[in-house]
Amino acid sequence: MKYYNNNNLALKEQGRKKTVFTKVIRLKSKIDYDKQMHLNWIVRKVEKGTGLTKQELKSIYSEKALFFEALKHVSTTNRSLCKALNLSRPNCCRHKKELESRGLLIQSVDKYVCRNSYDLAHLISTNQNKFDELLKSNQLKFEFSYE
């Protein structure tokens, strides 16, 4: 591809900057697409597990009960769950602390890369069957796949 005219150096520099700018925009949209796909996956898992849509869940359950119920069906980070279900993050942090103190919620020993913020974070779950997996310190055996 030819981006510039060899005789005009000003166009040459403009062409390079324009090309770099376009690549950055494409990369950013790919990251946003990946984040949205992960959030959609969380919503699908919760809807499939409960048999209700997101709107029905929000009308039936309180925020604390929805937080608890959603974590029975998906093991993910606090931030991703709050973003996917449109829950208040400070409230969910408080609910997480309460559920942990009552022994109903477990967080993983290891940290994983959050697919929403790309920071290291612990996975959380209220599913009794996943407690042993989350408390093990081997990241290679934990199944975190899209179904």
**Minimal CA–CA distance to 126: which of 64, 84, 51?**
64
What pLDDT sits at residue 110? 87
pLDDT of residue 146: 57
With 90 as the cut, is the pLDDT of residue 130 above it? no
- The sign of the CA dihedral 38, 42, 43, 48 is positive
pLDDT in tens, 43-72: 999 999 999 999 999 999 999 999 999 999
Give the dihedral of Cα atoms 47, 50, 52, 53; nearest 10 deg. -20
Task: Dump pLDDT digits (tens) for 73-109.
Answer: 999 999 999 999 999 999 999 999 999 999 999 998 8
pLDDT digits (tens, 9 = 90+) for 5-57: 455 555 455 555 454 444 445 556 788 888 899 999 999 999 999 999 999 99
Q: Which domains does the chain have, with CATH numbers?
A: 9-138 (1.10.10.10)
